[in-house]
Amino acid sequence: DAGVTQSPTHLIKTRGQHVTLRCSPISGHKSVSWYQQVLGQGPQFIFQYYEKEERGRGNFPDRFSARQFPNYSSELNVNALLLGDSALYLCASSLGGRGENYGYTFGSGTRLTVV
């Protein structure tokens, strides 16, 4: 069975550009969460989507947005990229909307470098 898949694995963008990251959850999982992990730090929560609705949002600027599609896959969009957006972006899927009940399974991430 496929785990959580993320694409692309690596990406280099220029300041001011826009980027779209993609995530496919484990089959049957209806919740997708996004985390940002800056080098040397723990992951920070960005968004959670469950059944195509936003369930939670972390302390990130409006340049960050996301959505979930009918097949439960998800996109994370970041506009007007800054150097500080360089990070590993992790996607996590969960069976239900309450991660504490079902646990989270993570993908290998997309490493974004902004130059």
Partner 1 sequence: AQKVTQAQTEISVVEKEDVTLDCVYETRDTTYYLFWYKQPPSGELVFLIRRNSFDEQNEISGRYSWNFQKSTSSFNFTITASQVVDSAVYFCALIPTRGGSQGNLIFGKGTKLSVKP
Chain residues binding partner 1 by CB under 8 A are: 33, 35, 40-45, 48, 55-56, 58, 88, 90, 92, 97-100, 103-109, 111
Nearest approach in angstroms of CB 14 to partner 1 is: 23
Nearest approach in angstroms of CB 60 to partner 1 is: 13
Nearer to partner 1, 52 or 111 (CB): 111
Residue 101 to residues 39, 55, 95, 105, Cα–Cα distance (Å)? 29, 15, 9, 13
Handedness of CA 53, 87, 37, 59 (dihedral sign): negative
Burial class for 93, CB neighbours closer than 10 Å (0-12, 13-18, 19+) = buried
Nearer to partner 1, 72 or 104 (CB): 104
Nearest approach in angstroms of CB 94 to partner 1 is: 9
Cα gap 25→42, rounded to integer Å: 22
Q: What are the residues facing 4 on neighbouring strands?
A: none
Nearest approach in angstroms of CB 43 to partner 1 is: 5
Nearer to partner 1, 35 or 72 (CB): 35
